Amino acid sequence: EVQLVESGGELVQPGGSLRLSCATSGFSFSNYDMTWVRQAPGKGLEWVSAISRDGGSTNYADSVKGRFTISRDNSKNTLYLQMNSLRAEDTALYYCARDWTGPEYWGQGTLVTVSS
């Protein structure tokens, strides 16, 4: 069974940093491109970032470019999102998902709240 479990979300002050993790199981992680998507409270889905299966190619939404860094550790079957210079508008439920052309599997999300 494919599983994606996000963690690392918490309350952080504006300007702070967080690193989200997505632990995966049930599939060959190194064979799949991966994606982060977020959803602000009561709002729609917003694509955030994606990374190729070998980590050699990354892409970002303009809203996070230069502040967020996506990475992966194929030996640990884990996806990461390093989030720096956090703003109130980054408050959202962050989902990791498998694939980057139209994600088939999604985690349950981890909540990031940016507030003083």
The Cα–Cα gap between 64 and 113 comes to 16
Q: Which residue is it, tokens 């709240």?
A: 113
In one-letter notation, the amino acid at residue 10 is E
Site for other proteins in 13-42 (CB under 8 A): 35, 37
| Encoded tokens for 27 | 């599939």
Distance in angstroms between the alpha carbons of the first and the last residue of the chain: 40
Closer residue to other proteins, CB minimum distance, 12 or 97: 97
Read off φ and ψ for residue 95, nearest 5 degrees.
-105, 140
Closer residue to other proteins, CB minimum distance, 9 or 107: 107
Q: Is 45 in the site for other proteins (CB under 8 A)?
A: yes
Q: How many residues bind other proteins (CB under 8 A)?
A: 21
Task: Pick one of 44, 56, 66, 75: the residue that binds other proteins (CB under 8 A).
Answer: 44
Residue 22 beta carbon to other proteins: minimum distance, rounded to whole angstroms: 13
Q: Which residue is it, tokens 């967020």?
A: 68
Q: Is 107 in the site for other proteins (CB under 8 A)?
A: yes
Closer residue to other proteins, CB minimum distance, 16 or 47: 47
| Encoded tokens for 14 | 């504006």
Asked if 34 and 100 touch (Cβ cutoff 8 Å), the reply is yes
**Where do contacts with other proteins occur on this chain (CB under 8 A)?**
35, 37, 44-47, 50, 59-62, 95, 100-104, 106-109
